[in-house]
Amino acid sequence: MQKILLIEDEEKIARFVELELTHEGYEVNKAMDGRTGLEMAESGEYELVLLDIMLPELNGLEVLRRLRKTSSLPVIMLTARDAVMDKVTGLDMGADDYITKPFSIEELLARIRLALRKKQSSALPLLTLGPLSMDIARHQVTVGGETVDLTGREFSLLQILMENPGIVLSRDTLMERVWGYDYVGETNIVDVYIRYLRSKIDDRFNLKLIHTVRGVGYTLKQETP
């Protein structure tokens, strides 16, 4: 369950948001002042922070400023309608997004999902093998900086090979991972897609990265001359 920290001193709003988010399947903890909120945010327990600006002890902008010294935890600010300066300052200080009070719960949920998705995708690695590079978050493959257009299946197949460089993966393994256990169709589908990848990568760029291991399967490795 994803844990959200809500730093909000207006009890009515805090309770409403907590109730709705809990209903949506999030786990919510509340802090009623900035100092407590900052301490909780720094605990590393949370996936996201909802941060009110006007708070006792430490105001929201100060909480954000201090939090950003050590943490890139997604923060969505809850701002008053006319507080344009707060929004600008907050975004400058590293808030991921803001939502203006009063807000609908649907809008808040959408912002939360977006912020969590962004966090997740920025944590995805860049895979590389020699000149070949794969950005999983952007769904992009390049060879020596040149973009290679791949279909979804081709991308998935290449991703598995890139995640296991030098390891021989059987046709069955590749088939299960890319097409699923319940795939019914051509039994040579893996070979067909390997051929597509070879023509788009090895042949086009005059490389030899995709290797056939006779009777076993395929592996991706850079041949050392």
Strands (E), the chain: 3-7, 27-31, 48-52, 75-79, 97-100, 126-129, 132-135, 140-143, 146-148, 169-170, 210-213, 217-220
Contact of 148 with 129, CB cutoff 8 Å: no
How far is it between the farthest Cα atoms of the chain?
69
Stretch that binds Ca ion, among 3-11, 139-147, 190-198, 208-216 (CB under 5 A): 3-11
What phi and psi, each to the nearest 5 degrees, are found at residue 2? -80, 130
| Least Å from the CB of residue 52 to Ca ion | 4
Angle (CA) 125-73-67 rounded to 5° is 135
Q: Closest CB to Ca ion among 56 and 125?
A: 56
Part of the chain binding Ca ion (CB under 5 A), chosen from 26-34, 53-61, 138-146, 154-162 = 53-61
Sign of the C-alpha dihedral, residues 186, 191, 196, 199?
A: negative
Task: Considering only the stretches 30-38, 48-56, 67-75, 189-197, report the one whose residues sit in contact with Ca ion under the rule CB under 5 A.
Answer: 48-56
**Minimal CB distance to Ca ion: which residue?**
54
What minimum distance in Å lies between the beta carbon of 5 and Ca ion? 15
Q: What CA–CA distance (Å, rounded) separates 31 from 39?
A: 10
Residues 137-176 that bind Ca ion (CB under 5 A): none
Is 54 near Ca ion (CB under 5 A)?
A: yes
Exactly one of 18, 47, 52, 86 binds Ca ion (CB under 5 A); that residue is 52
Smallest distance from the beta carbon of 127 to Ca ion, in angstroms? 44
With beta carbons less than 8 A apart as the criterion, state whether 209 and 161 touch. no
Minimum CB distance to Ca ion, residue 31 (Å):
12
**Which range in 2-10, 133-141, 144-152, 217-225 contacts Ca ion by CB under 5 A?**
2-10
**9 is an interface residue for Ca ion by CB under 5 A:** yes
Residues that bind Ca ion (CB under 5 A): 9, 52, 54
